[in-house]
A = this chain, B = another copy of it.
Amino acid sequence: MNFPKDFIINGIHCGISKKPGKRDLALFYSKRKAKAAGVFTSNLVKAAPVLVSMNNLKKSASDIRAVLANSGCANACTGKRGLSDAIAECEMTADLLGLNPANVLVASTGVIGQYLPIEKVRKGIDDLAEKIVDDKNEPDNAIEAIMTTDTRKKASSGSFSIGSKKINVWGCVKGAGMIHPELKGLPACRRGRHATMLCFILTDADISQNLLRAALEKSVEDTFNCVSVDGDTSTNDSVFVLANASAENQAITKKDKYYLKFEKALGSVCLGLAKQIARDGEGATHLVEIEVRNAKDKVSAKKIASTVATSPLVKTAIFGADANWGRILGACGRAGVAVDPRKIDVYFNNLKVCKNSEKTNYSEKLAKKILNREEIKIILDLKQGNKSARYFTCDLSLDYVKINADYRS
């Protein structure tokens, strides 16, 4: 992992989560002023921390120093009390670290409709601030602290050079259910999608705030906004990127080749994290990539990919390793895109199971073998144009239902 300079991150248990001893509060801290950008859920029902972070970014996007994140409670649908709790989190963090509350961002994930146990949080922030002061950088602890139903720690990193300077990009993410992000930038500029996914990306690049934001918004479009576990867009989705300039590179201030290098590195980290989310989807036994090829335009391709990726019938068939391509075609036909229903080809990996919307002479045995693999690719060829899109999802298993039938208890 390439970890950027001058960031300290850690996580502790303070008792928000009901799981005994599980870390539930994380702090991402930059020793230096960092430029920051964020994209947030487009769900109209936005959690208090989302509203507070959006506001702080509006005020202070060129001077963010810390992001506080908790699991165990979403602080969503909590009204005025929820808002004042989220603001209090910023104040408490700022107080201890000698910052302005607007330098602090917040994020929460967990049960909706419950209030934060703010005294436990206060104690937790105390503990975290101590670790920061002691220079204790423990990424694994921070990652654990944001996990809910996640079964794996999810991180990804990359690096590139500008002249003699090496620039690191590192990110971690949580998210397993309520995953269908429709993230949009600030101010509301795009339609987004769904999940609780929280993502924290840190880089030591020196880059202008505008370009940092542009790179983030571009990166999420083909990564987090193309992941679905269950089609349910969360009230809490947030992706943050902090850039603290500690790499001391020549500052990236225009869309030149260095900007493109940065964008590529950031996109690659986001893609790595997005795929890890789908693979670790609640109850998932497969990572499924849906590719729609030769569509008239990219929006249509994405719409079909998204519809196939969220079809319960497609997802249960994959759980059963059943090559039921008819359900894939059925989902494609209801996506609201004008396709020629007589011309679609469907592949599992490279096995063509359907040609011109009719069965090929494929081997069911081979199809089953492919569908029993951990990673599966489904390709739909529309033969209408030359645009494509892909989407990442997982199967719908018995465990998904078990996990979600009694999530609160």
Contacts and interface: CB of A to CB of B under 8 A. Distances in A.
Given A405-B319, A405-B322, A334 B112 contact: no
A404 B334 contact: no
A338 B44 contact: yes
Contacts of A230: 312-313
Contacts of A325: 113
Given A313-B232, A397-B401, A400-B401, A322 B409 contact: yes
Contacts of A332: 45
B402 A326 contact: no
A408 interface: yes
A78 B358 contact: yes
Pairs of residues from A and B, 10 with the lowest C-beta to C-beta distance, nearest first: A112-B326, A320-B405, A45-B333, A316-B404, A113-B326, A233-B334, A79-B358, A43-B333, A44-B333, A230-B312
A376 interface: no
B330 A112 contact: yes
A77 B404 contact: no
A401 B404 contact: no
24 contacts: A42-B334, A43-B333, A44-B341, A45-B332, A45-B341, A76-B326, A77-B329, A77-B358, A79-B342, A79-B356, A79-B358, A113-B326, A113-B329, A113-B354, A113-B359, A231-B312, A232-B327, A233-B333, A235-B329, A312-B400, A319-B405, A324-B407, A398-B398, A398-B401
Interface in A333-375: 333-334, 338-339, 341-342, 344, 354, 356-359
